[in-house]
Amino acid sequence: MPLSRPVYRFNAALVREPSRSVVRGLRAVDQGDPDYDGVAAEHAAYIDALEAAGLAVTVLPPLEAFPDSVFVEDPALVFSAGAILLRPGNATRRGETAQIAPVLRRRFETVLEMSGTGYADGGDILVTPDHVMIGLSARTNAAGAGALGACLTKLGLASKTVTTPPGVLHFKTDCSLIEENCVLVTARLEASGVFEEFETLILPQGEEAAANALRINDVVLVGAQFPRTIEMLDQAGYSVVPLATEQIGRIDAGLSCMSLRWFDETLDG
């Protein structure tokens, strides 16, 4: 069933402070290690942007044993109706699920776990008004998509499995929902036809990394180093908040990865 409010309407978020081990984070392409102080500064600015957009942000402590644990969106999904614990595709990240599980159980009455041995990363999940899109990738396989779909059904949400283009780390590496019926997307993912039912804004050539933008309430968070994308969104009438993502980008991350966002019915607004 469709969600009862815009899918980008949030009032609560969970984030995790970056650990000093973040400099050893996973990456598909080696652009050099990120600078810890740079990552910390980008993360702090990100929290400020979430709060300015109207979210109550809970900050979890860093996990030194898990360099990528600042990217809390991969081991779990959250909705107003409940949370789902995922099984990340990279084995080094699977312990993150156990770390975030008790936090979610304190906040959600319903917390589901994937059955079987399949795997799925939150970075492959795009929530749209009518269904949750699950992108198959190196980090999300068919068995994981099936198990996740079963959990979504229990929360009253429909799902649709699609294919991520070869060489793309996560489905949301190449797209983000910026309006109920509009997706910001790379040319290669748009060409795949997975967004035939949506309007699309195709990213300027050379700024494909801006695809992982984040719509929150009335604003769209976008990497500050993508001026043509920012101009395109501004001309389309969006209120854009540019944020530095150069350091987190060195470990294959973007703006959606760093938070779990939902609408908490118990909070005002």
Binding residues for substrate: 26, 68, 73-74, 93, 139, 251
Locate 234 and state its tokens.
Answer: 């501004």
Q: Which of 131, 151, 175, 257 is catalytic?
A: 257
Q: How far is CA 57 from CA 240, 243, 263, in A?
A: 20, 17, 12
Burial-class residue 11 by CB neighbours within 10 Å (0-12, 13-18, 19+).
buried
Q: Active-site residue 170, yes or no? A: yes
CB-hemisphere CA count at 13 Å for 255? 28
Q: Which of 131, 151, 170, 175 is catalytic?
A: 170
Q: Active-site residue 151, yes or no? A: no
108: phi then psi, degrees, rounded to nearest 5 = -125, 135
Distance from C-alpha of 58 to C-alpha of 217, rounded to nearest angstrom: 18
- Contacts of residue 30, defined as CB under 8 A and 6 or more positions apart, other chains included, come to none
In angstroms, how far is CA 246 from the centroid of its own chain?
Answer: 17
Locate 210 and state its tokens.
Answer: 């801006």
The set of catalytic residues is: 170, 257
